[in-house]
């Protein structure tokens, strides 16, 4: 009953027949609002049958919006039961505030959220499944728009934004070189070390060279680079385009008669198409170097033996398989990043959501594409 | 002209840092209480000094209009007072608390007693209007959800919106609505001071006029002190009790509209007597020479 004792500091009740007199006291302000609310609820529940209520506010020292609203709520509760309610003794300073609050119309209950949460949970599963189709459609749409923009640029080469392309190449390829080299080098080292460790058990040390060569050149070089690029540049594209969308820059471009796809997206995607194969080549070389280094230092395979064995185990088409895949992967990353960037809505949260979606989707699609390519190359015997 | 003479005397002995600034007369008797006191503020970016030993007083219960050319540093002074921009020199006292000397808890106690309307609204884009209004309240007070909802609607009605705006996201609001919601959020903790950074910019003249009236009404009902950075001569004329002018990094003058119109300073003459100020000038009774 501690609360009631506290509450009585602010609101005391005396009842005579069907007439209730409430006398307020103290500071009816924000920090006391919780205690006051509890006191008001208790009092309105305790006297369900009174006919006349007088609220004497003469001893209330201060009143702010919080206190004033609670007073207003108290009068509304009693008025709604058909009581005659009078507020007396309120300082005239607060008259304006009270008359302001008297006109407040609360929610009529037409807006209800969360009451059918189970229904919404199922609905959102359905919407998500349907949206997969939608986003595939958006990707196809973007591919079409890109082809159109590319065709326009081919007919009017002067309109191509070469500066933008160089700038994007700098961001996407040149600045990515150190981190790509480091990561692929380490991956090469790890594969060689694991191979040596296990192959040594049955004396097949030298086949590690075959494994490193084929794995790196066919699959891992391009995959690691694409995953890195999706995380590094794909997310940047989505965030850039998304914040341009939020600040209406894309609308501005459109109204000036520019095609945003041609101005913003084409240079970005061309930069990826040029940059990713270069990075794949560099990354594959770094991985082979790392593999060779581990074979020499850890496995005791001399560099000359490593090189001659590598020459025997891989053909040019092993290298080609990896390199052919690179531009296709680049296109997937670029298109997904652009589609997600343009899907950003007004809020900061949506920017974050689309950037996440962009990275997850492009890595997923890169791996799926890699699988499709594997089947394709196997069937044509490459 | 008798009331200007004490300040004139202060100017002549060269000691008073607020030379040329006439205090707000207030509605009560006696000297009005200084609620914000900025002394000797120096703020610069790189080599450029934006505020060069600036002084300003804001008195309790007034609406102070703060004007100056674009890039003169009006917003900079406001942001310095609220602690968003570091200063190289000077002191800021709010409610008599020295903002540099006080502890973190002391700072927070002061921050709880002011509200700020940023120029672009600065509503949290991932929260609905209702959640935006409840965010500061929830942080400081432990209230029931029902009371929070009712108060949010009450605040929205006070700024001229209604319950239908509650569940909208900031990106779905028009410019005028954004300003109103931002004002409601600035008022959500019942502050004693509100800082308004260009409240009427980007509103049409009718909307701006309504907003001015709204500020005046709220100032009356809630007993606020309002610090308003503005360019709008109509706002200055209709709602401001006092006007302070910032030029060359200093507050060159502070006083009523009549004082502004009577000033001989070239920038103030250009500002208050320019083409766009005609309507205002005609509306104000000219001080008669007697």
Nearest CA-CA distance, residue A137 and chain B, Å: 26
**Which residue ranges form the domains of chain A, and what is each CATH number?**
2-102 (3.30.750.24), 129-379 (no CATH)
Mind listing the pLDDT tens digit for each residue in B58-71?
Answer: 888 888 888 887 77
Among the partner-chain residues A104, A347, A349, the one whose CB lies closest to the CB of B157 is A104
**Least confident piece of the model among A82-91, A217-226, A340-349, B149-158:** A82-91
A226 vs B95, residue with greater confidence: A226
In a domain, B93, yes or no: no
B80 belongs to a structural domain: no
| Residue B76, domain member (yes or no) | no
Query: In whole numbers, what is the pLDDT of chain B averaged over residues?
Result: 78
The reply to whether residue B125 touches residue A347, judged by beta carbons under 8 angstroms, is yes
Q: Give the pLDDT mean for B10-22.
A: 48
Using the predicted structure, report yes or no on whether residue A300 has a pLDDT greater than 60. yes
B151 domain-assigned: yes
User: Which of B:177-196 have CB within 8 Å of A?
Assistant: 187, 189-190
In a domain, B169, yes or no: yes
> Residue B68: beta bridge partners?
B246
Number of domains observed in the structure of chain B: 1
Q: What are phi and psi of B142, to 5 degrees?
A: -105, 90
pLDDT for res A170: 95
Percent of chain A with pLDDT over 70: 95
B interface mutation test: which of A42, A104, A247 has the most B CBs within 10 A? A104
pLDDT (average), residues B178-187: 87
* Concatenated DSSP letters of A149-198: HHHHHHH-GGGS-HHHHHHHHHHHTGGGHHHHHHHHHHHHHHHHHHHHHH
Residue whose C-alpha is closest to residue A243's, from A344, A152, A339: A344
Predicted local confidence at residue B230, as pLDDT: 83
Residue B271 lies inside a defined structural domain of this protein: no
Residue A64 buriedness (CB in 10 A; 0-12 / 13-18 / 19+): buried
Q: What is the pTM of this model?
A: 0.68
The C-alpha atoms of residue A138 and residue B222 are separated, in whole angstroms, by 52
Q: Any CB–CB contact under 8 A between A103 and chain B?
A: yes
Chain B residues with CB inside 8 Å of A109's CB? none
Please list every residue in chain B whose beta carbon sits closer than 8 Å to the beta carbon of residue A32.
Answer: none
* pLDDT tens per residue across span A129-182: 888 888 889 999 999 999 999 999 999 888 888 899 999 999 999 999 999 999
Q: Residue B133 domain-assigned? A: yes
pLDDT band for position B12 (cuts 50, 70, 90): very low
Residues 6 or more apart whose CB falls under 8 angstroms from that of A357 comprise: A340
H helix or E strand, kind and range, residue B75:
helix B74-81
pLDDT tens digits, residue range B185-240? 888 888 888 888 888 877 777 878 878 888 888 787 778 888 888 887 777 888 88
B126 with A347: Cβ contact below 8 A? yes
Q: H or E segment at B139?
A: helix B129-140
Buried b (16+ CB within 10 A) or exposed e, A2-30: eeeeebeebbbbeeeeeebbbbbbbbbbb
In a domain, B37, yes or no: no
What's the farthest any 2 CA atoms get from each other in chain B? 62
In whole angstroms, give the CA distance from residue B244 to residue B22.
9
* Chain A environment of B220 (Cβ under 8 Å): 96
| Tens-place pLDDT, residues A168-181 | 999 999 999 999 99
Residues of the domain holding B138: 120-175
């Amino acid at each position: 009953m501690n609360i009631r004792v506290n509450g009585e500091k602010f609101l005391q009740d005396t009842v005579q027949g069907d007439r209730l007199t409430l006398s307020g006291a103290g500071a009816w302000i924000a920090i006391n609002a919780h205690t006051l609310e509890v006191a008001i609820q208790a009092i309105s529940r305790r006297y369900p049958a009174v006919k006349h209520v007088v609220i004497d506010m003469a001893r209330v020292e201060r009143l702010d919006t919080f206190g004033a609203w609670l007073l207003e709520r108290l009068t509304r509760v009693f008025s709604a039961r058909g009581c005659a309610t009078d507020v007396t003794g309120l300082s005239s300073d607060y008259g304006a505030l009270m008359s302001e609050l008297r006109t407040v119309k609360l929610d009529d209950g037409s807006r209800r959220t969360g009451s059918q949460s189970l229904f919404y949970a199922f609905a959102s599963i359905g919407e998500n499944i349907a949206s997969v189709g939608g986003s595939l459609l958006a990707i196809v749409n973007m591919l079409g728009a890109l082809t159109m923009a590319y065709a326009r640029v081919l007919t009017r080469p002067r309109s191509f934004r070469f500066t933008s392309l160089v700038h994007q190449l700098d961001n996407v390829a040149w600045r990515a070189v150190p981190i790509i080299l480091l990561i692929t080098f380490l991956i090469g080292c790890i594969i060689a070390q694991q191979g040596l460790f296990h192959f040594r058990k049955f004396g097949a040390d030298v086949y590690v060279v075959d494994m490193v060569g084929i794995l790196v050149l066919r699959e891992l070089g391009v995959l690691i680079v694409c995953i890195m690029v999706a995380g590094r540049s794909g997310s940047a594209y989505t965030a850039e385009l998304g914040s341009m969308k939020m600040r209406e820059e894309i609308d501005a471009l459109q109204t000036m008669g520019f095609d945003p796809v041609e101005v913003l997206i084409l240079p970005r995607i061309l930069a990826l198409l040029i940059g990713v194969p270069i990075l794949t080549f560099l990354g594959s070389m770094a991985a082979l170097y790392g593999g060779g280094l581990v074979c020499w230092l850890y496995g005791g395979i001399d560099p000359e033996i490593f090189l001659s064995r590598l020459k025997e185990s891989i053909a040019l088409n092993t290298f080609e398989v990896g390199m052919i895949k690179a531009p296709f992967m680049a296109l997937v990353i670029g298109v997904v990043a652009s589609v997600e960037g343009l899907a950003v809505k007004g809020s900061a949260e949506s920017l974050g959501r689309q950037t996440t979606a962009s990275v997850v989707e492009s890595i997923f699609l890169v791996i799926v594409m890699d699988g499709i390519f594997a089947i394709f190359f196997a069937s044509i015997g490459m | 002209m008798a009331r200007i003479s004490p300040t004139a005397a202060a100017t002549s002995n060269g000691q008073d840092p607020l030379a040329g600034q006439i205090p707000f007369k207030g509605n009560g008797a006696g000297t009005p209480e200084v609620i914000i006191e900025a002394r000797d503020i120096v703020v610069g970016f790189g080599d450029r000094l934006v505020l060069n030993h600036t002084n300003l007083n804001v008195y309790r219960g007034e609406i102070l209009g703060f004007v100056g050319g674009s890039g003169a540093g009006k917003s900079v002074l406001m942001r310095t007072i609220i602690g968003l921009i570091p200063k190289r020199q000077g002191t800021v006292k709010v409610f008599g608390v020295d903002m540099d000397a006080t502890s973190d808890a002391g700072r927070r106690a002061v921050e709880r007693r002011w509200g700020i309307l940023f120029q672009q609204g600065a509503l949290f884009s991932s929260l609905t209007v209702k959640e935006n209004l409840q965010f500061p309240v929830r942080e400081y007070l432990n209230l029931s959800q029902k009371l929070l909802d009712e108060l949010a609607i009450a605040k929205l009605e006070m700024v001229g919106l209604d319950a239908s705006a509650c569940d909208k996201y900031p990106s779905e609001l028009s410019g005028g609505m954004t300003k109103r919601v931002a004002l409601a959020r600035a008022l959500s903790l019942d502050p004693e001071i509100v800082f308004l950074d260009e409240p009427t910019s980007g509103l049409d003249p009718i909307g701006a006029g309504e907003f001015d009236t709204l500020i005046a009404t709220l100032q009356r009902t809630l007993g606020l002190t309002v610090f308003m950075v503005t360019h709008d001569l109509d706002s200055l004329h209709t709602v401001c009790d006092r006007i302070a002018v910032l030029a060359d990094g200093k507050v060159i003058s502070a006083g009523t509209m009549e004082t502004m119109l009577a000033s001989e300073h070239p920038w103030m003459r250009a500002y208050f007597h320019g083409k766009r100020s005609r309507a205002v000038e005609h509306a104000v009774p000219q001080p008669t020479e007697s």
